[in-house]
Structure 1
Amino acid sequence: MTELATLLAKDAIRDLAARYMRGQDRLDRSLQLSTFWPDSTTDYGIFTGSGPEFVDFAQDLLKAHLANQHIIGQHLIDYDPDRPDVAFGEVYYYAFHRIVEEGAPYDMLICGRYLDRYERRGDEWRFAHRTELVDWARKDAASDGFLATDLSACVLGRHDMQDRSYDREWLENA
């Protein structure tokens, strides 16, 4: 691949990773599904199967959470010069989950890396395989009650597709 083609491919793959995370955080099944090839595979430890099957698993699991936020860190993308339609990646992530246990809110943090194989078919890059590695995790009682008092005027994000980020008409006129 030329240097320009490599840069364009890396940008498309980084956008792919961001769309995957947005699909998870906003419970946007169709967006998250669009990041996997139909014949893709996954291994998350708690789930092993096809990419589309994982999307169903993740969307159902995360519906029970009060909030989720996945933050992507450094993203290393490596190419095999003999196969321009295949790339490999390692993406660091920081995942926040607001859960409820025994009626009380807890914050669960899971941090690690995704190991990916990307394939370009036609002009589109998607996941051909995704494995999640967990490097560390913790769970603490939620401590953000001050949002209801000290920061009550803040505009809060939502854990679904009613989030402000989907309202293009509002943003167009803001």
Structure 2
Amino acid sequence: MDALELLIAKDAIRDLQSRYMRGQDRLDAQMQHDCFWPDATTDYGIFKGSGHDFVAFAQDLLKGHKANQHLIGQSLIEVEGDIGFGEVYYFAFHRVEIDGQDRDMIIAGRYVDRYERRDGVWKFAHRTELVDWGRMDPAADGFLADLTGILMGARGAEDRSSQRDWLRTA
């Protein structure tokens, strides 16, 4: 694999990582499903099984949250022909309600991935999630309610990022 082919492969894998996270945050199950090969496996500790079964598990779990945001940090990607290996840092924010109080659950860790290119397309063949640390705090963004003109994010079609027709003429 020459330098240009390697660069293209790594870019496709980074795009895969971003689509996975967007599918999770916007509760777009189809986008997240499309990131896994049909025979992909996962091990998240709290869930171990197929990639597609994990998507159903995660989407159902996150529906109970008020908001989520997953940020991708540095990633080390190594490509060996049609197989790639990755270590991807993440920072995950979850707004949850516990005993009637909004809480912010923050989890940071890494994904350890195996990617496979089939018919020119890169997808997850295996994904493991490692948790490095976490914390739970009372929600502290009540001040936003006092500000006017704030555009808040949403899930699915309600989020501006899903409104391509609006964005074309904005």
> Which bin holds the TM-score, normalised by the shorter protein?
over 0.9
User: Cα RMSD between the aligned structures?
Assistant: 0.7
- Identify the residue that residue 112 of structure 2 maps to in structure 1: 115
Comparing 20-29 with 160-169, greater Cα deviation is found at 160-169
**1:161 shift after superposition:** 3.4
**1:123 shift after superposition:** 1.1
Given the alignment of the two structures, is residue 157 of structure 1 paired with residue 153 of structure 2, yes or no? yes
| Paired amino acid for 1:165 | S
User: Could you tell me whether the CA contact under 8 Å between 2:156 and 2:162 is conserved in 1?
Assistant: no
Aligned partners of 2:34 and 2:19: how far apart in 1? 9
CA deviations on 1:24-67 (whole Å, 9 max, x unpaired) are 00000000000000100000000000000000000000000000
- Identify the residue that residue 60 of structure 2 maps to in structure 1: 60
User: Could you tell me whether the CA contact under 8 Å between 1:75 and 1:89 is conserved in 2?
Assistant: yes
**Aligned pairs (5 A) from 1:128-139:** 128-139=125-136
Aligned partners of 1:140 and 1:79: how far apart in 2? 39
User: Could you tell me whether the CA contact under 8 Å between 2:157 and 2:163 is conserved in 1?
Assistant: no
Q: Name which of 81, 86, 95 aligns with 2:83.
A: 86
The 3-state SS of whatever aligns with 2:54 is helix
Structure 1: give runs of 5+ residues left out of the alignment.
none
- Count residues in correspondence: 170
Structure 2: give runs of 5+ residues left out of the alignment.
none
CA deviations on 1:86-141 (whole Å, 9 max, x unpaired) are 01000000000000001110000000000000000001000000000000000001
**Aligned pairs (5 A) from 1:61-76:** 61-76=61-76
Aligned partners of 2:157 and 2:167: how far apart in 1? 15
Q: Name which of 101, 105, 125 aligns with 2:102.
A: 105
| Paired amino acid for 2:154 | R
Given the alignment of the two structures, is residue 95 of structure 1 paired with residue 59 of structure 2, yes or no? no
Q: Name the TM-score, length of structure 1 as normaliser.
A: 0.96
| Paired amino acid for 1:109 | I
User: Could you tell me whether the CA contact under 8 Å between 2:102 and 2:139 is conserved in 1?
Assistant: yes
Given the alignment of the two structures, is residue 171 of structure 1 paired with residue 161 of structure 2, yes or no? no
Given the alignment of the two structures, is residue 142 of structure 1 paired with residue 139 of structure 2, yes or no? yes
The 3-state SS of whatever aligns with 1:14 is helix
The 3-state SS of whatever aligns with 1:96 is strand
Aligned partners of 1:131 and 1:78: how far apart in 2? 16
**1:15 shift after superposition:** 0.1
Aligned partners of 2:134 and 2:157: how far apart in 1? 27
Aligned partners of 2:159 and 2:38: how far apart in 1? 28
> Structure 1 44/161 Cα, relative in aligned 2: closer, same or farther at 3 Å?
farther
Aligned partners of 1:97 and 1:159: how far apart in 2? 13
User: Could you tell me whether the CA contact under 8 Å between 1:28 and 1:161 is conserved in 2?
Assistant: no
